[in-house]
């Protein structure tokens, strides 16, 4: 499928569309209007129609979208039908949490192997995934060509690990380390999960709410009160 | 400080500005131009000037921004100078990872107590934070009024935990559960960390890169080749 380049804002909304449409699909909904989608997701119906228009026509004016088709198309756009393989580097608490609880297959990724340097973890199996020693990593990259690596090593080891992965031909890195990794090969996709950015956004909204609450309340007649 | 309502896109860029300016500050940089910021962050200088304009004037035309003042103002806008308190619910692998490795204080939050129902964890201390039994939660909320709660309980317990927190007067929830929690009080700020959304974004970009690589290469003379 050919398509135009779309903005990061549209791309960031796609997973939200997908989750919503997937729920409709699971509840056997056949057809949905952009206004119903709008009610469920919170974006305007016009916004939704405009976003979808970047990827071709999914619906018909006044008739709504076919849920099954729309779900399939969004899966295609997001690459969820691609059957990628992935590995995980760093089986500390965060790595373990992802291996045990996160459903990689729902996002089109099959977890094939995990790596750690701690002898206490190497040789164990976490939810069906074997943990190997890091000394096997380069051989594994060379032989099995996994598509993506989840990076959950300590922050100070992030760059060195990324260098090995890129050298080994990885196509994408999902970076949880909080470090900004430098990648020499611009074809490698890096997606950063920054907990700090997320918490700062929360902090911003919390701060704003307080300012709103502390604002003077203007009453009829020009008097004003400050809320306690 | 009074300010106008700004878009979520601007807010999402603020933590990136802060991280960049904080690095400059740590390296004793006194003054920075929007074009230097642009080189480091990757947004255009015009975009940066426009974003900053929402919050008042930080800089002077042709003279750049005072790094110390800019850092302070962005901290103020993000609420990082607010000294909020927070608690954490659910000391599984993810909760432990956050307690052990995430620097809450860098984001203006002081972690006061963690909660879990597992007797093996209750009574222990993780990086200086005591883990209490969940039966203490309501009393603690009532007495200590923490500002924010980190939600790292299993997905299926998310809504019940959120209900207790909201009932107990919490102002904000940082939700890692992957569940969409319903909040009855619209004054409560909820920030969701969705690993699935992030991985789907990665998948989108990985897919797009492949399509670009697989595109036919047009040669002079009208012939074309498909890359292997």
Residues B9-50: pLDDT tens digits? 888 889 999 999 999 999 999 999 888 889 888 888 888 888
Residues whose CB falls within 8 Å of the CB of residue A137, separated by 6 or more in sequence, listed in order: A89, A115, A164, A168
Q: Are strands A172-175 and A148-151 parallel, antiparallel or unpaired?
A: parallel
Q: Report, as ranges of residue numbers, the positions in chain A whose pLDDT lies below 50.
A: 1-2, 216-228
Residues of chain B contacting residue A172, judged by C-beta atoms under 8 Å apart: 202, 205-206
How far off is chain B from A79, nearest CA to CA, in Å? 5
pLDDT of B59:
66
pLDDT of B124:
97
* Closest-approach residue (CA) in chain B for A205: B189
CA distances from B107 to A195, A196, B69, B142, B152 (A): 10, 7, 18, 24, 18
pTM as predicted: 0.86
Residues whose CB falls within 8 Å of the CB of residue B143, separated by 6 or more in sequence, listed in order: none
CB contacts < 8 Å between A and B, how many?
174
More confident residue, B16 or B58: B16
Query: Which A positions 83-102 lie with beta carbon below 8 A of chain B?
Result: 84, 92-94, 96-98, 100-102
ipTM above 0.90, yes or no: no
A10: left (phi over 0), alpha (psi -120 to 50) or beta: alpha
B198/A191 Cβ within 8 A: yes
Structure tokens at A101: 């609880």
Structure tokens at A190: 């890096």
Q: Is the pLDDT of residue B220 over 60?
A: no
Q: CB distance from B126 to chain A under 8 Å?
A: no
Q: Where are the alpha helices (DSSP H) in B31-80?
A: 34-41, 45-53, 67-78
The sign one gets for the Cα dihedral B71, B72, B78, B79 is: positive
State how far the Cα of A16 lies from the Cα of A78, in Å rounded to an integer.
11
The sign one gets for the Cα dihedral A15, A20, A26, A28 is: negative
Query: Which A positions 207-226 lie with beta carbon below 8 A of chain B?
Result: 207-211, 213
Q: CB distance from A121 to chain B under 8 Å?
A: no
Pseudo-torsion of CA B146, B152, B156, B159, nearest 10°? 20
B197/A78 Cβ within 8 A: no
């Amino acid at each position: 499928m050919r398509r135009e380049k779309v903005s990061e804002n549209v791309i960031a909304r796609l997973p939200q569309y997908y989750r919503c449409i997937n729920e409709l699909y699971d509840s056997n909904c056949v057809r949905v209007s952009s206004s119903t989608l709008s009610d469920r997701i919170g974006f305007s119906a016009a916004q939704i129609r405009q976003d979808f228009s970047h990827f071709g026509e999914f619906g018909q004016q006044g008739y709504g979208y076919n849920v099954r088709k729309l779900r399939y198309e969004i899966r295609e756009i997001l690459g969820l039908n691609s059957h990628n393989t992935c590995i995980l580097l760093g089986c500390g608490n965060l790595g373990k949490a992802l291996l045990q609880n996160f459903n990689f297959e729902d996002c089109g990724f099959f977890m094939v192997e995990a790596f750690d340097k701690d002898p206490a973890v190497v040789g164990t199996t976490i939810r069906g995934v074997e943990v190997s020693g890091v000394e096997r990593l380069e051989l594994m990259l060379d032989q099995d060509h996994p598509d993506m690596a989840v990076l959950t090593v300590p922050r100070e080891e992030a760059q060195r690990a990324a260098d090995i992965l890129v050298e080994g031909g990885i196509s994408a890195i999902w970076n949880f380390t909080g470090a900004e990794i430098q990648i020499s090969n611009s074809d490698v996709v890096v997606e950063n999960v920054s907990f700090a950015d997320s918490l700062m956004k929360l902090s911003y909204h919390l701060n704003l709410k307080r300012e709103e609450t502390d604002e003077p309340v203007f009453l009829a007649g020009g008097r004003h009160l400050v809320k306690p």
